[in-house]
Structure 1
Amino acid sequence: MITPRFSCTQTEESVVVSIYCPSVRASDVEINVDDTLFTIHVNPYFLRLNFSHALLEDDASSARYDPSTGYFTVTLTKAVKGQTFEDLDLLAKLLAPRASKAQGPLIEVLDSEQASQNDDDELASATESLSLEQREILEAAENDWQVKQELPEPDTSFKTSISRNYGFLNLHSGYFRHVEHAENEVNELGANAETAGPSERRELRLNHEEQKWDEEYYMADYADDEYIKDLIAWKHPHTTLPSEFQYSEEENLAMLRLPRREYLASREQTKNLYLTLLTLLFSYAYESRTTQCDPTPESGWTLGTLTPAFSALDPAPYGPISPDPKSVSSGELLATFVASYRRALTFPLYRSFALAEACRSDVVAFLRNGKRTVLRCLLEMKNILDHHDVYYVYSKIWLDDYCVWIQSASDDILRSLAADIAALNIPKNVLGWDLEELEALTHQTSGREIDSDDEDSEDEIERMLPAPL
């Protein structure tokens, strides 16, 4: 079956689902509404949507097919008039399966083993008396692929394979088995990408950053920063929330192609997902600032190189872990941005602390605007990586899952993170390099050159200082 393109809107009394099903026989359509669940089947298309509130299929409901456009327009009545249906534009969330309903008590205390045996016999007898059609209905209802799942206990047993998992919630493996034959300039682990453990990945990443750190490059960009100042002054279009937010047709299609997955993350894992999200948004902010939202052939390399979770398969946390899994401490935020700042000052074309601060301001604005803006940023990252012959792998192991997960994230948490990040102070000395000393040396060198031409000016030196956040 093919999942068709679709969109949803609402009025005070109805929800309207517009479904693109070209060249079908409208007389063969099957539509069903069951509380919050809506399904439509017309060969070869099938669509199942799970809404946040109940719907009715009554006399006010309707379905109309326009063969000239290929669209089915289905109007469904709200069970409660005036009720607002949330997240109708988050298509992957609508496509997620409905949570199963517990039937009766989950635990029942029986008087004796004999009572249990009697109940089993009674159930067996009742089942045997069912007709073939009733049995098929019962089996179909039970086989809903929505069985209750529990978080697995940590596996402390020894590993029978040298291969390690990585990516979103460590769900992936095998993507780097033949990495030596691919021109992957982002990968810093080399042939060890499949076998290196978390501590080894981090050690390799930090060592690589130290090897690539270039004091002269940093000083040159600090001294000659006219173009960098233009990049800092540029305003990102996603930092301003539009009055009416609406995804484009291309974005809707991208969401329809996302995997249909359900994630069972512990509180600690969820916190780490939010922290790693910050590094993704920082990389996106840097790439879009330096290209002004006009990606270049180098954009995929920039996104991959600036993100520790991509280049070294090394996601957050990067520092001391707070004992409270429900909250993010300032120390955890600081360590997260230190990891991003170090890479922004080591690898890309423009290496400026002030530019990194501007990217952090962008991250604050993205988070403040909520999950819809964050999803738009992730979709744009995904689009860049998906069109690269090699770097698409990072979309598979990270961005596909993040684009699904973020649709169920909490806007309150995102806005709380935005406030904490805006108040965060990142001293230059925490990056591990003598940035202030290098900047002072740059001023001294520039001063001597200006003196030689009799053009010494305190205003000129002041103008060269990075703009504050």
Structure 2
Amino acid sequence: MLTPAFKLSQDDDYLFVDIKAPHAKVSETEIDFFDRQFRFYSKPYFLRYCLFGVILNLTFTVSCRLALPGRVIQNGDECVKWIADKNVFHVKVPKVCQGQHFEGLDMITKLLTVSDEMKAKRTVPGIEVVSTEYHDEVEQERVEEEEDFNWLQTEWSEKDDKSLLGEYYGFASKYAGVFARMADELACLVDIREPEKKSIAQRRQERHEIENKHFSDDHYLADLHEETEIPTLIATKLCWDTLDCSTEFTDDEKFKLKNLPWKQYLIDKNMKYHLVMGMVDILYAFAYETRVTEGEYSVESGWTITKLSSTLCWLELFNSLQETVVACVRRSLCYPLHRNWQLSIKIIQDVIKILEKGRSFVLKCFLRIHSIFNESGESRYILNDLYITDYCVWLQTVKTTTFSSLAEALKKVNVAKDEVNFDIDILEVASKSVLNDEKEYVDNEENIQLLRAMNVKKQNRHTNEESSEEESEESLEESSESENEDDSEAPTSNDEESSSESEDSSTEDETEESICLNTDKHKRSERIR
């Protein structure tokens, strides 16, 4: 049977269900809803999902009379309409508690998940389900209060559990033996080798060692003084920077949610904390790739997201939010094309904005990652099987306040340069010193050029003086009277010229002397180096 495309909406009194079924047999359509269950059946379609509130009971069969818009009234205003030109069933369902708001109507995969009561009825008789996902509001609030986290506190350490196949890994640490079976495919995807033989502590130690070896001083310093591209990337406005950013799912995203596997997870408080930290780690990698590509993802996007995420690349489990953010920043300074401290810090702000957009927007990001991995090749779909698919299903069950509280906690996280252990603060100070020395060297070179120009000018002036003296001697021989007059005036003018020349010469000598002193000083500093 096929699951039709559907959409749910509501007002204070009614729940509205729109079901698109272009190949349905209207005369054989059946719709049934009771308590929290809703069922739609019309060959070849079948739809069943669980609701978060209580709705009134109504069962009827849609006949061929509903080929045109019509109403079937029972117990009030309940009705179903068949909109023929759109091939859509429009069902109007009254709420028992008028004014009650049903949460999570856009969490399609969760709605399609079979409830625990139904599973118990179909499986082993005599087993009572004492607690389900859909308990009353008072119980739900009590459980949520008990599960509030202090995101900034290191609350747990990893377990030392092993399976017969070795160490666990993947979403909620529920996988083992996958790497042993698919060693060739996974070798080019992740950095870790033989994870079944390594504990979480061993993976972390090995990751730190490889990151330290891979960090490049030259690459970091080159990007540090890059004045064009990186400032532009930091200033770029992305979709989550705008107020009108949509959190509604597109038709393509709804189709993906509808086709996700229907699962329910038994996750304790310890593991839930690890999963949320892994979510932050993966979102950081996704936000980095989105910013540097401005949302224009490429075949390299899958590599970048995988490489920047310690969760995906090293099967890491984090114990605190501070540890998670430090790991993200470290890898952003080791592997991608742009390695800049300000850019890495900007990505943290991007993650905060994504979390503030709420559960639906976070889920949209993971759906995009799922598509990127499927389209990037290199068997990266395996990471979807190990992590992303389960995240897409599980995120729909996380309470909405988790994301807002996590965003507030992330705002309080401060990462210092010495925490990443790459000595980048020392590198930056050294680079500034070198730049200042280079500037002094350039200034000295300019002084040398000026000195050379002054010497040339001085030589030209001496040449002009010699030629003028020869001309004056010739003129003296032509006329004796003019010679006497010239002899009486010449000393005065010559004295003036000689005095001015001596002044110019003294000025030039002083300038020349200062330049020479600077040049000698520069040469002495070079010899000291």
Pairwise TM-score range, normalised by the shorter structure? 0.7 to 0.9
CA 1:202–1:227 in 2, change beyond 3 Å: closer, same or farther? same
Residue 9 of structure 1 pairs with residue 12 of structure 2: no
CA 1:436–1:141 in 2, change beyond 3 Å: closer, same or farther? closer
- Secondary structure of the 2:99 match is coil
Which residue identity is paired with 2:297?
Answer: P
**How big is each residue's C-alpha offset from its partner over 1:51-97, in whole Å with a ceiling of 9 and x where there is no partner?**
11111234422223344433222221122223222221111222223
Which residue identity is paired with 2:206?
Answer: L
CA 1:451–1:148 in 2, change beyond 3 Å: closer, same or farther? farther
Which residue identity is paired with 2:202?
Answer: E
- 1:178 Cα deviation from its structure 2 partner: 4.8
Instruction: Tell me if structure 2 keeps the 8 A contact 1:223–1:442.
Output: no
Residue 378 of structure 1 pairs with residue 395 of structure 2: no
Q: How many percent identity over aligned positions? A: 27
- Secondary structure of the 1:53 match is strand
2:244 alignment partner in structure 1:
242
Higher mean C-alpha displacement, 6-15 vs 423-432: 6-15
CA 1:149–1:259 in 2, change beyond 3 Å: closer, same or farther? farther
- 1:175 Cα deviation from its structure 2 partner: 3.5
**In 1, distance between residues paired with 2:112 and 2:165?**
36
**In 2, distance between residues paired with 1:16 and 1:386?**
34
Residue 365 of structure 1 pairs with residue 382 of structure 2: no
Aligned length: 400
2:321 alignment partner in structure 1:
333
CA 1:292–1:160 in 2, change beyond 3 Å: closer, same or farther? closer
Which of 244, 249, 259 is the matching residue for 1:257?
A: 259
Residue 188 of structure 1 pairs with residue 191 of structure 2: yes
**In 2, distance between residues paired with 1:99 and 1:347?**
45
Instruction: Tell me if structure 1 keeps the 8 A contact 2:24–2:45.
Output: no
Which of 74, 94, 110 is the matching residue for 1:93?
A: 110
CA 1:336–1:147 in 2, change beyond 3 Å: closer, same or farther? same
- Secondary structure of the 2:180 match is coil
More relative contact order, 1 or 2 (CA 8 Å, 6+ apart): 1
**In 1, distance between residues paired with 2:334 and 2:325?**
14
Superposition pairs of residues 19-418 of structure 1, within 5 angstroms: 19-56=19-56, 57=58, 58-100=75-117, 147=129, 161-182=164-185, 184-190=187-193, 192-242=194-244, 245-317=247-319, 332-389=320-377, 390-418=379-407
- 1:355 Cα deviation from its structure 2 partner: 0.7
Instruction: Tell me if structure 2 keeps the 8 A contact 1:162–1:195.
Output: no
CA 1:142–1:40 in 2, change beyond 3 Å: closer, same or farther? farther
Instruction: Tell me if structure 2 keeps the 8 A contact 1:185–1:301.
Output: no
CA 1:250–1:146 in 2, change beyond 3 Å: closer, same or farther? farther
Unaligned runs of 5+ in 1: 102-137, 151-155, 318-331, 456-469
Instruction: Tell me if structure 2 keeps the 8 A contact 1:15–1:78.
Output: yes
Residue 430 of structure 1 pairs with residue 419 of structure 2: yes
- 1:396 Cα deviation from its structure 2 partner: 1.6
**In 2, distance between residues paired with 1:291 and 1:218?**
20
1:421 alignment partner in structure 2:
410
Instruction: Tell me if structure 2 keeps the 8 A contact 1:100–1:148.
Output: no
Higher mean C-alpha displacement, 384-393 vs 286-295: 384-393
Which structure has the highest helix share of the two? 2
TM-score normalised by length of structure 2? 0.70
- 1:452 Cα deviation from its structure 2 partner: 3.5
Cα RMSD after superposing both structures: 2.8
- 1:171 Cα deviation from its structure 2 partner: 1.9
- Secondary structure of the 1:23 match is coil
